[in-house]
Amino acid sequence: MNARADVSGALVCRQDVYLQLLEGPADTVLETYARIRRDDRHTNPTILTSRAVSARLFGDWSMLHDPATSWMWSPEEIADGALERASATEAIAAFEALGAKVATSAPTCPR
C-alpha cells in the first residue's frame, strides 16, 4: 500500500518504543497518517514534527522495520520517560542515524 501511494519511511518497533517516519508527497503522507489513526491497533498516535525535505532518508523502502536494539534509548531510559521528553530534533536525529546505517548496507526488503 505504501509503495502505491509513493510513501516511504521507517518503523522503529520494540516492546517499549514505537516510532514511525513517513516520507512522500504531503497529501499522501497525511492520508497515510489518517489511516493509522483509524486503525484500532494504534493508540494515541502523536505527530512529533512535520517538515518538507529535499531528499528522503528511506526512499528505497516502503517501510523499513528496525527493532531499535542498539542506537536508541535503552529500555531503562524509556521506562524513565525518555520518549515523552524527546524533542522533534532528537527523533529526527534517531531516524537520520538509522538512515545512515541502512545506507551502508544493502536493503533486504526494499519497496
- Cβ–Cβ under 8 Å, residues 44 and 56: no
At 1-55, the pLDDT tens digits run 777 788 999 988 888 878 899 999 999 999 999 999 999 988 888 888 899 989 9
- pTM recorded for the entire structure: 0.79
pLDDT for 71 equals: 62
Beta carbons within 8 Å of 50's beta carbon, 6+ residues apart: none
Beta carbons within 8 Å of 104's beta carbon, 6+ residues apart: none
Residue 68's nearest CA partner among 109, 14, 19, 20 is 14
Of the candidate CATH numbers 3.30.70, 1.10.760, 3.40.50, 3.30.1480, the domain formed by 8-103 belongs to 3.30.70
The residues spanned by each domain of the chain are 8-103
pLDDT, the chain, mean: 84
Instruction: Record the cell numbers describing residue 35, joined without a space.
Output: 489511516
